Homo-oligomer: A and B are copies of this chain.
Amino acid sequence: MCESNVYLIDEKGEEKLVFEGVNEVSSYGGGLCLENIFYQRKYILAKVKEISFLERKIILERISEDE
């Protein structure tokens, strides 16, 4: 089964792992809802910057409240 690890670009421009084994990502309240293979959820005020199925990686970048 396909799933990905989700990373968030921090203030220093580095990728920080925020959630593992994610198989569903959906828009939620101006940000995103991440759901993993254990049906655990995480909400994050960010948008998708990059998706790599080859590397099984989703990279998010933070969005400001007023965006």
Contacts and interface: CB of A to CB of B under 8 A. Distances in A.
A52 interface: yes
Interface in A1-38: 1-4, 22-27
Contacts of A1: 53-54
How many chain A residues sit at the interface, stated as a range, is 20 to 34
A25 B54 contact: no
A49 B27 contact: yes
Interface of A: 1-4, 22-27, 47-54, 56, 58, 61
Given A2-B56, A23-B53, A26-B51, 8 more contacts: A1-B54, A2-B2, A4-B53, A22-B53, A25-B50, A25-B51, A27-B61, A48-B51
